[in-house]
Structure 1
Amino acid sequence: MPECQTDEIGTLRSGIEEIVQRLHPGCDDDLESLLTWLNPNEPSSNHHMRPPPLRLKDTMKLLVNQYYNGQYNSKNEFEISKGLSFDLTNLLPQFYVYQVRYHFFASFDSIKSFKDIQKLERYYDFPLKYIYLFQSNPDEWIMEKDSLRHYLINRNVEFLRNLKQRLAVLMMDDDYEVIEDILDWVNKAGGNVSSTELLMDVIFLKITKYCESHLDGVFSERFLVMKTYNKFITKYWVHITRLLACSVDDHELTNVIYSVFEKQFLRIRTKQAFEIFVANYPSSEPTILEMRKLLTNSKQLRKLIVLFLVEFEARILNPSVTTVDAFLAYVKCVKAFLTLDPSGKYLHSISSFVRSRFQERSDLVTVLLYAIMDLRSSELLEDPHVQVNAASLKALADEFKKSELAIDHDSSFTTGDRNAVADSLTVGGSLPYEEVMEQFLSWTPDSSIILPQSSVKQSPSHGLLDILLELFESKDFFISEFLKLQTKRLLSLKYYRLDKNWSNCLQILKKKLSNGTQATSIGITPSGNPSENTRSEDYSNINYIDVMLWDVKCSLELCQQMHQVSGLDPRIYPKFISYLYWNYHWDTGHSFELPQGLEQELEKYCRVYSEMRPGRALKLCRDQGVVEIELTFEDGRRESLDVTLEQYSVIQQFNADHRSPSLTAEDISAILKMDLARAKSVLRFWVEKRILLLENGYYIVQESKQSADPAVAYNVASGSGSASSLPERQDLTTDHQSQVPSILKNVWPFIQGMLMNLGSLKVEKIHSFLRATVPKELGYSAITQSHLDFYLSSLVEEERLECTSNGSYKLRN
Structure 2
Amino acid sequence: MATQPSQSTMAALEDMFFEQFKTHAEKIKVTRASGKPTLADSIECAHEALRPFDLNKGSERPSSTRGDNQGGLSLVLLPGHFQELQAQDFIMPILEWFLREVRDNRYLITLDIQRFMDDYETTGDVEIVHDMLCRVVEWWEAWGQNVAYFNPYVDGVQAYRRTCTIHLNSSLPATFRPAFRALLASTFPSELTPMDVERAKKIFATLNALGLLSDHEHLVGSTLRDFITEHLTETCKGEWETMCWPVLKEWYAAVVAPWIELVYVRSWMKQSETKAIFDPLNAKYTWHMCEALAKLRISEIFDIIVDYPTSSPALLDLKECLFQTGTRKELVQSLRTANKKRLLHPGADTKDIITQYVSTIRCLRVLDPMGSLLFSVADPVRQYLRERPDTIRTIVQNLIDPKSEFTAGEDGEVKPLQDTTHLADDYGDFGWMPEPAYADAAFRTTRATDIISTLVSIYDSRDIFVKELQVLLAKRLLGIKDQDYDAEIRNLEILKLRFGDAPLQVCDVMMKDITDSRRADQHIKNARKIELENHVPAATEGSTEELPIHATIISRLFWPSMPSTSLVMPGKFRKYQEEYAKRFSEFKPDRKIRFIPNLGTVSLELELQDRTLNVEVTPLQAAIVDCFSSQDTWIVDELAAHLGNLDIPSVDKALEYWLDHGVVKSIGNKQYKLLEVAEEKRTLTMRPARRSSLNETPAATKMEEQQAEQMRVYWQFIQGMLTNFSSLPTDRIHTMLKFAPNYDRTREQLARFMEALKREGLVDLRDGSWRLLKDGGTT
Same fold (TM over 0.5): yes
Closer, same or farther: CA 245–618 of 1 in aligned 2, 3 Å: same
Cα shift readout 1:34-70 (whole Å, capped 9, x = no counterpart):
x9xx999xxxxxx6935499xx978869699974577
Aligned counterparts of 1:168 and 1:718: Cα–Cα separation in 2: 71
Match of 1:284 among 299, 311, 319: 311
Partner of 2:232: 211
Aligned counterparts of 2:163 and 2:584: Cα–Cα separation in 1: 115
Match of 2:626 among 652, 661, 667: 652
Partner of 1:666: 637
Unaligned runs of 5+ in 2: 19-47, 121-125, 190-194, 425-429, 533-537, 539-544, 691-755, 762-776
Aligned counterparts of 1:256 and 1:7: Cα–Cα separation in 2: 48
Aligned counterparts of 1:675 and 1:236: Cα–Cα separation in 2: 80
Q: Is the 8 A contact 1:39 1:96 kept in 2?
A: yes
Aligned counterparts of 2:500 and 2:436: Cα–Cα separation in 1: 34
Q: Is the 8 A contact 1:401 1:440 kept in 2?
A: no
Partner of 1:681: 653
2:550 aligned counterpart, secondary structure: coil
Write out aligned runs for 1:301-450 (5 A).
Answer: 301-374=328-401, 397-402=404-409, 436=412, 438=414
Aligned counterparts of 1:318 and 1:549: Cα–Cα separation in 2: 41
**AA paired with 1:654?**
F
Partner of 1:591: 566
Aligned counterparts of 2:459 and 2:328: Cα–Cα separation in 1: 26
2:56 aligned counterpart, secondary structure: coil
Q: Do structure 1's residue 608 and structure 2's residue 583 form an aligned pair?
A: yes
Closer, same or farther: CA 71–398 of 1 in aligned 2, 3 Å: closer
Q: Is the 8 A contact 2:241 2:311 kept in 1?
A: yes
Match of 2:297 among 269, 274, 288: 269
Closer, same or farther: CA 251–692 of 1 in aligned 2, 3 Å: farther
Match of 2:186 among 170, 175, 179: 170
Partner of 2:717: none
**AA paired with 1:502?**
E
Q: Is the 8 A contact 2:150 2:156 kept in 1?
A: yes
Partner of 1:49: 56
> Aligned residues: percent identity?
16
Q: Is the 8 A contact 1:305 1:350 kept in 2?
A: yes
Q: Do structure 1's residue 569 and structure 2's residue 526 form an aligned pair?
A: no
Partner of 2:447: 460
Aligned counterparts of 2:366 and 2:238: Cα–Cα separation in 1: 20
CA apart distance, 1:687: 3.9
Unaligned runs of 5+ in 1: 17-34, 41-46, 376-393, 406-435, 516-535, 720-795, 802-810
Q: TM-score, normalised by structure 1?
A: 0.61
Q: Is the 8 A contact 1:669 1:679 kept in 2?
A: yes
2:628 aligned counterpart, secondary structure: coil
Match of 1:510 among 496, 503, 513: 496
Closer, same or farther: CA 9–708 of 1 in aligned 2, 3 Å: farther
CA apart distance, 1:699: 3.6
Cα shift readout 1:765-805 (whole Å, capped 9, x = no counterpart):
xxxxxxxxxxxxxxxxxxxxxxxxxxxxxxx9x9979xxxx
Cα shift readout 1:647-696 (whole Å, capped 9, x = no counterpart):
211122334x6433xx4422422332322122122223444566554454
Aligned counterparts of 1:298 and 1:245: Cα–Cα separation in 2: 27
Partner of 1:733: none
Partner of 1:643: 617
Match of 1:485 among 438, 458, 472: 472
Q: Which region of structure 1 is more displaced relative to structure 2, 471-480 or 563-572?
A: 563-572
Partner of 2:102: 97
Q: Is the 8 A contact 2:301 2:335 kept in 1?
A: yes
**AA paired with 1:329?**
Q
CA apart distance, 1:168: 5.3
Aligned counterparts of 1:333 and 1:131: Cα–Cα separation in 2: 68
Partner of 1:578: 555
Q: TM-score, normalised by structure 2?
A: 0.63
Q: Is the 8 A contact 1:483 1:541 kept in 2?
A: yes
2:105 aligned counterpart, secondary structure: helix
CA RMSD of aligned residues (A): 5.6
CA apart distance, 1:562: 4.0
Q: Is the 8 A contact 2:386 2:459 kept in 1?
A: yes
Q: Which region of structure 1 is more displaced relative to structure 2, 549-558 or 617-626?
A: 549-558
Aligned counterparts of 1:232 and 1:292: Cα–Cα separation in 2: 20
Closer, same or farther: CA 157–373 of 1 in aligned 2, 3 Å: farther
Closer, same or farther: CA 39–90 of 1 in aligned 2, 3 Å: closer
**AA paired with 2:495?**
L
Aligned counterparts of 1:620 and 1:677: Cα–Cα separation in 2: 23
Aligned counterparts of 2:108 and 2:255: Cα–Cα separation in 1: 45
1:482 aligned counterpart, secondary structure: helix
Write out aligned runs for 1:116-265 (5 A).
Answer: 119=132, 122=135, 143-144=159-160, 146-150=162-166, 153=169, 158=174, 161-162=177-178, 165-166=181-182, 169-172=185-188, 183-184=204-205, 187-188=208-209, 193=214, 199-222=220-243, 224-245=244-265, 254-265=282-293
Q: Is the 8 A contact 1:555 1:575 kept in 2?
A: no
**AA paired with 1:245?**
V
2:493 aligned counterpart, secondary structure: helix
Q: Is the 8 A contact 1:324 1:367 kept in 2?
A: yes
CA apart distance, 1:240: 2.7
Closer, same or farther: CA 294–142 of 1 in aligned 2, 3 Å: closer
Aligned counterparts of 2:188 and 2:514: Cα–Cα separation in 1: 72
2:566 aligned counterpart, secondary structure: coil
Closer, same or farther: CA 695–156 of 1 in aligned 2, 3 Å: farther
1:618 aligned counterpart, secondary structure: coil
Closer, same or farther: CA 812–267 of 1 in aligned 2, 3 Å: same
1:628 aligned counterpart, secondary structure: strand
Q: Which region of structure 1 is more displaced relative to structure 2, 173-182 or 564-573?
A: 173-182
Aligned counterparts of 2:231 and 2:564: Cα–Cα separation in 1: 70
**AA paired with 1:220?**
E
**AA paired with 1:331?**
V
Aligned counterparts of 2:255 and 2:145: Cα–Cα separation in 1: 47
Partner of 2:458: 471
1:209 aligned counterpart, secondary structure: helix
Aligned counterparts of 2:115 and 2:660: Cα–Cα separation in 1: 79
Q: Is the 8 A contact 1:548 1:577 kept in 2?
A: yes
Aligned counterparts of 2:71 and 2:434: Cα–Cα separation in 1: 77
Closer, same or farther: CA 558–93 of 1 in aligned 2, 3 Å: same
Q: Do structure 1's residue 558 and structure 2's residue 523 form an aligned pair?
A: yes
Match of 1:549 among 514, 519, 524: 514
Aligned counterparts of 2:220 and 2:688: Cα–Cα separation in 1: 70
**AA paired with 1:640?**
N
**AA paired with 2:632?**
R
Write out aligned runs for 1:44-83 (5 A).
Answer: 49-51=56-58, 67-68=73-74
Aligned counterparts of 1:121 and 1:100: Cα–Cα separation in 2: 19
Aligned counterparts of 1:486 and 1:299: Cα–Cα separation in 2: 48
Closer, same or farther: CA 350–128 of 1 in aligned 2, 3 Å: closer
